[in-house]
Amino acid sequence: MAEKTIMLVCSAGMSTSLLVTKMQAASKAREMDTEIFAVSAAEADRNIENKNIDVMLLGPQVRFMKGQFEKKLAGKNIPLDIINMQDYGKMNGENVLDQALKLMN
């Protein structure tokens, strides 16, 4: 089992897949033990209930759902934030990994 689990949520779970790959490469370069994966907003609930998630990041296209997810995460001690739009647009895995790590500390 990975030391840190990062879940990215977007509208279909597809657009974040390249970002996940870049974040995984950044994590590997730092010799970190992480599980980073992307799901659609519809699949997020099941993962919140069934996986041990350390941080959850929302893609900019689902930022409007932050309030709904805050309610679902209440009492679970899972930090939640929206991925920086510039980092998302540039698929900057390093910066998004840093964002996730900061939320976990």
pLDDT in tens, 21-66: 999 999 999 999 999 999 999 999 999 999 999 999 999 999 999 9
The 10s digit of each residue's pLDDT in 76-103 is 999 999 999 999 999 999 999 999 999 9
Q: What are phi and psi of 104, to 5 degrees?
A: -85, -15
Residue of 6, 8, 9, 10 with catalytic role: 10
42 flagged as catalytic = no
pTM: 0.94
8 Å CB contact between 7 and 51: yes
Q: Residue holding tokens 């879940």? A: 7
Q: Which domains, ranges and CATH numbers included, belong to the chain?
A: 4-104 (3.40.50.2300)
Question: If you write DSSP's letter for every residue of the chain in order, what string do you get?
Answer: --SEEEEEEESSSSTTHHHHHHHHHHHHHTT--EEEEEEEHHHHHHHHHHS--SEEEE-GGGGGGHHHHHHHHTTS---EEEPPHHHHHTT-HHHHHHHHHHHH-
Is pLDDT at 13 greater than 80 in this prediction? no
